[in-house]
């Protein structure tokens, strides 16, 4: 790696770290604790992505790749193998229920909108929806969580109405952190893939960015983008829900995929953009 590229990569890492470190400092995670996590991540990535085909990764090779001592690599591998550090999170069951509600024809009206569901019933009911999409989580637990998150409402005692097609836990900060981790990791994975791959193998990675947007326009754009992206995500969810149900009998191994959308405002100018509007 030449020095110019390495310098650019270092600047990119600083930009990526700043919002993450803001959350860590606010939650009293010290530099020493972060450094331990970084060492663990270096070893994990070395073992997962840089093993020579047909050969077992050794402590010595991992040491060369990461710059850590062989003894330190051995310590971190032991921690990883004992499961003391875990960064994987299970899919959120409440979100799966919402996805089923907006994507499964059984729970949609003739116009493709989510039905107001009776609480109980064998078909086209909230209990049937939960049984199909929540795994072993009970109806009461799912309903309580969705009501608490402001995603559903109870227009009558025995009915449930979907208010929002996106589920974000309102009070559970740890769950919000897990969502942040998964979304950020997915976005960075795509960006790194595009850096390393040929142009014709690139994945979708687009932005619309404007500088110096007046507050009136910003307010209008927040509302406009919320509606547009909500419609798009509902459409995409319906497509995947339908296609995966039809392909359920396919015995071949599947893959995890999706499309993420996020809104941002950088009043502190963390990332400098061109003075004119940009679409990338």
pLDDT digits (tens, 9 = 90+) for 73-83: 999 999 888 76
Question: In the predicted model, what is the mean pLDDT of residues 218-226?
Answer: 95
What is the structure's pLDDT at 224? 95
Residue-range definition of the domain harbouring residue 266: 206-249+257-280
Q: Is residue 178 part of a domain?
A: no
Q: Do 271 and 216 belong together in one domain? A: yes
Q: Which of 148, 183, 175, 184 is nearest to 163 (CA)?
A: 148
Are the C-beta atoms of 238 and 112 separated by less than 8 Å? yes
Last residue within a domain, chosen from 87, 106, 127: 87
Q: Do 107 and 55 belong together in one domain? A: no
| pLDDT per residue as tens digits for the range 101-148 | 988 889 999 888 899 999 999 899 999 999 999 877 888 888 988 888
- The reply to whether the predicted model has a pTM over 0.85 is no
Are the C-beta atoms of 241 and 100 separated by less than 8 Å? yes
Most confident of 177-181, 201-205, 262-266: 201-205
Q: How confident is the model at residue 168 (pLDDT cuts 50, 70, 90)?
A: low
Q: Is residue 193 part of a domain?
A: no
Q: Do 10 and 81 belong together in one domain? A: yes
Residue 99 pLDDT > 70: yes
Encoded tokens for 96: 């799966």
Q: How confident is the model at residue 149 (pLDDT cuts 50, 70, 90)?
A: confident
What is the structure's pLDDT at 70? 94
End-to-end Cα separation, the chain, in angstroms: 26
Are the C-beta atoms of 40 and 79 separated by less than 8 Å? yes
Q: Cβ-count burial of 130 within 10 angstroms (0-12 exposed, 13-18 middle, 19+ buried)?
A: buried
d(CA 1, CA 241): 43
Residue 275 pLDDT > 50: no
Q: Is residue 268 part of a domain?
A: yes
Give 153's strand partners.
161
Q: How confident is the model at residue 87 (pLDDT cuts 50, 70, 90)?
A: very low
Quickly tell me which residue has 């078909």 as its tokens. Answer: 123
Q: Do 52 and 125 belong together in one domain? A: no
What is the structure's pLDDT at 85? 52
3-state SS, residue 124? coil
A 10 A CB-CB count for 103 gives: 24
Of the listed ranges 18-32, 127-141, 257-271, the least confidently predicted one is 257-271
Q: How confident is the model at residue 23 (pLDDT cuts 50, 70, 90)?
A: confident
Last residue within a domain, chosen from 72, 87, 102: 87
- Rounded to whole angstroms, the maximal C-alpha distance in the chain is 67
Question: In the predicted model, what is the mean pLDDT of residues 52-67?
Answer: 94
Q: Do 135 and 151 belong together in one domain? A: yes
Residue 193 pLDDT > 80: yes
Q: How confident is the model at residue 276 (pLDDT cuts 50, 70, 90)?
A: very low
Our count of domains for the chain comes to 3
Question: In the predicted model, what is the mean pLDDT of residues 167-185?
Answer: 76
Q: Do 17 and 67 belong together in one domain? A: yes
Q: Is residue 179 part of a domain?
A: no
Q: Is residue 11 part of a domain?
A: yes
Q: Do 52 and 68 belong together in one domain? A: yes
d(CA 226, CA 251): 38
Q: Which of 28, 38, 96 is nearest to 66 (CA)?
A: 38
Q: Do 154 and 231 belong together in one domain? A: no
What is the structure's pLDDT at 221? 96
Last residue within a domain, chosen from 101, 128, 162: 162
Our CA dihedral for 20, 25, 31, 35, rounded to 10 degrees, sits at: -30
Encoded tokens for 58: 């050794």
What is the structure's pLDDT at 243? 85
Q: Which of 30, 24, 29, 57 is nearest to 43 (CA)?
A: 57
Q: Cβ-count burial of 263 within 10 angstroms (0-12 exposed, 13-18 middle, 19+ buried)?
A: exposed
What is the structure's pLDDT at 167? 66
* Residue 243 phi, psi (nearest 5): -70, -40
Residue 88 pLDDT > 50: no
pLDDT averaged over the chain? 85
Q: What is the DSSP letter of 1?
A: -
């Amino acid at each position: 790696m030449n020095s110019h590229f390495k310098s650019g990569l270092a600047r990119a890492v600083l930009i990526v770290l700043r919002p993450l470190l803001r959350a860590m400092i606010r939650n009293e995670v010290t530099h020493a604790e972060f450094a331990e996590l970084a060492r663990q991540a270096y070893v994990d990535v070395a073992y997962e992505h840089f093993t020579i085909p047909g050969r077992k990764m050794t402590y010595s090779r991992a040491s060369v790749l990461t710059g850590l001592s062989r003894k330190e690599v051995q310590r971190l591998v032991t921690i990883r193998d004992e499961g003391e550090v875990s960064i994987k999170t299970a899919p959120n069951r409440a979100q799966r229920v919402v996805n089923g509600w907006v994507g499964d024809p059984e729970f949609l009206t003739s116009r493709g909108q989510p039905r107001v569901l009776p609480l109980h019933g064998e078909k086209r009911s909230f209990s049937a929806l939960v049984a199909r999409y929540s795994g072993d989580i009970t109806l009461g637990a799912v309903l309580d969580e969705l009501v608490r998150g402001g995603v559903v409402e109870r227009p009558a005692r025995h009915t449930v109405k979907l208010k929002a097609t996106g589920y974000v836990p309102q009070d559970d900060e740890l769950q919000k952190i897990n969502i942040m981790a998964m979304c950020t990791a997915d976005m960075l994975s795509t960006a790194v893939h595009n850096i390393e791959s040929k142009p014709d193998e690139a994945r979708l990675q687009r932005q619309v960015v404007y500088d110096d947007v007046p507050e009136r326009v910003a307010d209008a754009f927040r509302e406009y983008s919320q509606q547009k992206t909500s419609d798009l995500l509902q459409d995409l969810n319906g497509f995947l829900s339908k296609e995966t149900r039809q392909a359920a009998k396919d015995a071949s191994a599947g893959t995890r995929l999706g499309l993420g959308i996020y809104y941002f405002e950088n009043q502190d100018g963390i990332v400098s953009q061109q003075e004119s509007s940009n679409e990338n």
